């Protein structure tokens, strides 16, 4: 008895739901019946094609349980017919060019995503502006997903350079570097009756930024490793500076804070403010605001400003006087010396270039000198080699410059000669011609020797220009071909326990800026330069 009462209440509730849905769809049903085959059979109206009478509630009719179930089944079938039709009507978007002050042309395209701008025929969304970068995606037929087709121009985001006039507008994008005089990156807006979708892009992989806190002090650097999702335009305004867009961005960034010196990939999101100034052909990012990193807000500004780089050193970390210094402007490859602090990586016997942190020029006329000695005390005296054996003026104290010093380690010098070897065979010779690029110390090791002492061994990245002579197979050993090429590698420099001078053991992991690099890689032989 109790279960029958519950079943009756459930059926009554379904009837009430059917009554409300019927009244809301009453106006729609009359237009759908003529288009949907079999709809009259479902509702039992195919005999006289009379319009259905309004259903009464269960208070006015004493309907049997069997009739209730039958009406409910018909109502469920009716929902299956009507619902897909309504969904189809929501997948299209009507565009009217007259609303933009253009010709009164009307188009129907598939419904766009929130990050897409439509272009079809003579209709061009006003948010599509020259100077900004876009990906262009051909739209499919109405009713299909607007992201079905792949983007043109090899899925690249290119800067829009011009929008033509007339009934069919020509959209021209920046040319490829190898086709400056033969630009193929263009199309006409009426090339496809389905139209095109423009997707804006303001940040890309490889872009670098400087991280500032809310006090406008630089805290570190960030490099975009990978963009995530789509970049959504939030606003488009004309200001005194030009056209300003605000775009929501998300990406994975390699974040390196000056305080730690450790780079880590971190997911980052924010709002990029991009401005195309008056008279400029390209828009640029001014800053990215509302950036949250480790639960703190920051602002990103484009570019890496080395003059803002800060390094904090503590004497207590090297068991010295417990002092603390913060240096601003030190290069990433320079080793700090300031006040009573001398970095433990600075060792006598190795070669360095010395630069005061408050200037661009180096001391000692920019020469690379061998460090002879590091004195004791609060202010350490650093003495370098000198041409004069009677009076050595190449020295300084660690506290000479309040802003500190930066010492760049140097492994290779102009005029050094090496044998070019591969697989144990000598292939030719190399002579160092230019050493303009910085040389970066990767690590330093203490290696025990047979007498119980330790040798100091450093691994330094080098990037130099060399004259290379390679012996041609089938010719005499004295006959060779000369090349001038860029050589990158890892120099291994060692100082023995009882020696006052370091020496280069070899240069390994060689990379050549030449077609010869391909030949050596195919032969599976690793090039090694040996002094």
Give the Cα separation of 496 and 516 in Å (integer): 35
110 and 162 housed in the same domain: yes
Q: In the listed set 352, 386, 410, which residue is the last one of a domain according to the structure?
A: 410
- Nearest CA among 236, 222, 303, 219 for reference residue 273: 236
d(CA 222, CA 458): 28
Tokens (6 digits) for 423 = 């697989």
Residue owning tokens 């009739």: 67
Helices (DSSP H) in 90-216: which residue ranges?
152-155
Of all residues in the chain, the percent with pLDDT exceeding 70 is 80
Residues 6+ away with beta carbon under 8 Å from 51? 30
Q: Are residues 102 and 145 in the same domain?
A: yes
User: What residues have CB less than 8 Å from 361, skipping those under 6 apart?
Assistant: 355
Q: Note the residue count of the chain.
A: 531
Interaxial angle between packed helices 2-33 and 65-89, expressed in degrees from 0 to 180 and rounded to the nearest 10 = 40
Q: Which two tokens stand for residue 417?
A: 């000669």
Same domain, 261 and 231: yes
The last residue of a domain, from among 410, 440, 458:
410
pLDDT attached to residue 20: 61
Among 189, 101, 97, 89, residue whose Cα is nearest residue 139: 189
Q: Are 48 and 106 within one domain? A: no
Choice between 520 and 213, residue whose per-residue pLDDT is larger: 213
Strands 218-227 and 208-212 come out as antiparallel
| pLDDT computed for residue 477 by the predictor | 47
Handedness of CA 60, 66, 70, 76 (dihedral sign): positive
Do 50 and 122 belong together in one domain?
Answer: no
**Domain co-membership, 317 together with 405:** yes
Structural domain includes residue 337? yes
* 13 within domain boundaries: no
Same domain for 404 and 421: no
Q: Does 467 reside within a domain?
A: yes
pLDDT tens, position by position, 243-266: 999 999 999 999 999 888 788 999
Structural domain contains residue 4: no
Tokens of 267: 């997911």
Q: Output the CA–CA distances (angstroms, integers) from residue 395 to 264, 354, 381, 391, in the order listed.
A: 39, 11, 7, 11
| 48 and 115 housed in the same domain | no
Residue 350 is inside which H or E element, if any? none
Q: What is the tens place of the pLDDT at every residue in 316-347?
A: 988 888 999 988 888 889 999 999 999 999 99
Helix (H) or strand (E) holding 274: strand 263-277
Predicted model pTM = 0.63
At residue 365, φ and ψ (nearest 5 deg) are 60, 30
Q: What DSSP string runs through 53-119?
A: PPPPPTTT----HHHHHHHHHHHHHHHHHHHHHHHHHTSEEEEEGGGGTS---EEEEEPPPTTEEEE
Judgement on whether residues 422 and 514 belong to the same structural domain of the protein:
yes
Q: Is residue 132 part of a domain?
A: yes
With H, G, I as helix, E, B as strand and everything else as coil, classify residue 227. strand
Q: CA 60 to CA 397: how far, in whole Å? A: 105
Taking the CB of residue 206, how many other CB atoms lie within 10 A of it?
A: 8
What is the average per-residue pLDDT within 378-406?
91
As a whole number of angstroms, the distance between CA 337 and CA 198 comes to 53
31 assigned to some structural domain: no
pLDDT on residue 255:
94
Q: How far apart are the first and last CA of the chain?
A: 103
Sheet arrangement for strand 123-124: 123-124, 116-120, 196-200, 133-138, 158-163, 170-173, 186-188
Give me the mean pLDDT over the 366-389 stretch: 91
Range of the domain at 261: 208-277+285-304
Per-residue pLDDT band for 517 (boundaries 50, 70, 90) equals confident
Is 8 a domain residue? no
The rounded distance, in Å, linking the Cα atoms of 245 and 128 is 11
Report, as an integer, the average pLDDT of 458-476: 82
- In this structure, the strands spanning 186-188 and 324-328 are unpaired
**Domain termination site, one of 392, 410, 428:** 410
Neighbour count for residue 500 (Cβ, 10 Å)? 12
Tell me the pLDDT tens digit for each residue of 197-256.
Answer: 999 999 999 999 999 999 988 899 999 999 999 999 999 999 888 999 999 999 999 999
Span 306-314, average pLDDT: 84
The pLDDT of residue 103 is above 90? no
CA gap 115, 131 in Å, rounded: 18
Identify which has the larger pLDDT, 95 or 262: 95
Are 392 and 445 found together in one domain? no
Nearest to 335, CA basis, from 354, 314, 359, 358: 354
Q: With bands split at pLDDT 50, 70 and 90, how would you rate the model's confidence at 294?
A: confident
Q: Which of 294-298, 450-454, 458-462, 518-522 has the highest mean pLDDT?
A: 458-462
192 & 217 share domain: no
Q: Tell me what pLDDT residue 422 has.
A: 86
Residue 16 located in a structural domain: no
58 with 104, same domain: the answer is no
Reported as a single tens digit per residue, the pLDDT across 36-89 is 344 444 334 444 444 444 444 444 444 444 555 555 555 555 444 444 444 444
| pLDDT of the residue at 17 | 64
- Tally of domains in the chain: 5
């Amino acid at each position: 008895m109790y279960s029958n009462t519950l079943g009756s209440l459930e059926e009554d509730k379904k009837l009430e739901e059917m009554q409300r849905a019927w009244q809301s769809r009453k106006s729609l049903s009359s237009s759908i019946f003529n288009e949907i085959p079999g709809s009259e059979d479902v509702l039992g109206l195919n005999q006289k094609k009379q319009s259905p009478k309004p259903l009464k509630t269960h208070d006015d009719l004493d309907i049997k349980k069997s009739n209730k179930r039958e009406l409910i089944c018909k109502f469920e079938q009716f929902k299956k017919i009507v619902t897909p039709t309504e969904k189809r009507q929501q997948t299209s978007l009507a565009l009217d060019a007259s609303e933009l002050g253009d010709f009164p042309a009307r188009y129907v395209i598939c419904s766009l995503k929130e990050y897409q701008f439509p272009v079809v025929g003579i209709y061009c969304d006003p948010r599509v502006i020259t100077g900004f970068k876009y990906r262009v995606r051909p739209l499919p037929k109405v009713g299909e997903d607007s992201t079905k087709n792949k983007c043109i121009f090899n899925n690249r985001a290119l800067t829009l350079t011009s929008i033509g006039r007339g009934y069919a507008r020509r959209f021209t994008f920046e040319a490829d570097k190898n086709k400056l005089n033969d630009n193929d990156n263009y199309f006409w807006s009426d090339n496809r009756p389905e139209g095109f979708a423009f997707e804006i892009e303001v940040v890309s992989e490889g872009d670098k930024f400087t991280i500032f806190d809310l006090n406008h002090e630089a805290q570190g650097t960030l490099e975009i490793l990978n963009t995530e999702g789509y970049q959504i335009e939030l606003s488009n305004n004309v200001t005194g500076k030009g056209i300003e867009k605000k775009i929501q961005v998300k990406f994975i960034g390699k974040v390196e804070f000056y305080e730690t010196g450790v780079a880590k990939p971190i997911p980052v999101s924010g709002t990029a403010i991009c401005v195309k100034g008056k008279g400029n052909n390209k828009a640029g990012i001014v800053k990215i605001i509302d950036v949250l990193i480790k639960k703190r807000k920051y602002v990103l500004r484009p570019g890496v400003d080395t003059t803002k780089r800060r390094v904090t050193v503590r004497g207590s970390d090297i068991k010295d006087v417990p002092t603390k210094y913060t240096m601003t402007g030190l290069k990433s490859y320079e080793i700090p010396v300031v006040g009573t602090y001398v970095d433990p990586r600075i060792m006598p016997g190795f070669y360095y270039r010395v630069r005061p942190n408050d200037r661009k020029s180096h001391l000692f006329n920019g020469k690379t000198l061998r460090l002879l000695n590091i004195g004791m005390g609060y202010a350490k005296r650093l003495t370098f080699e000198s041409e004069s054996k009677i009076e050595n003026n190449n020295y300084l104290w660690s506290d000479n410059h309040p802003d500190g010093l930066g010492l760049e380690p140097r492994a290779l010098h102009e005029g050094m000669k090496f044998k070019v070897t591969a697989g144990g065979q000598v292939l030719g010779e190399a002579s160092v011609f230019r050493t303009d690029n910085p040389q970066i110390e990767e690590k330093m090791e203490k290696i025990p020797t047979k007498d119980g002492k330790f040798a100091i061994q450093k691994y330094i990245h080098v990037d130099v220009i060399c004259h290379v002579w390679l012996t041609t197979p089938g010719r005499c050993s004295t006959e060779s071909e000369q090349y001038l090429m860029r050589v990158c590698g890892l120099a291994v420099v060692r100082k023995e326990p009882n020696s006052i001078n370091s020496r280069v053991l070899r240069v390994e992991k060689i990379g050549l800026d030449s077609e010869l690099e391909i030949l050596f890689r195919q032969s599976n032989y690793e090039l090694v330069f040996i002094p």
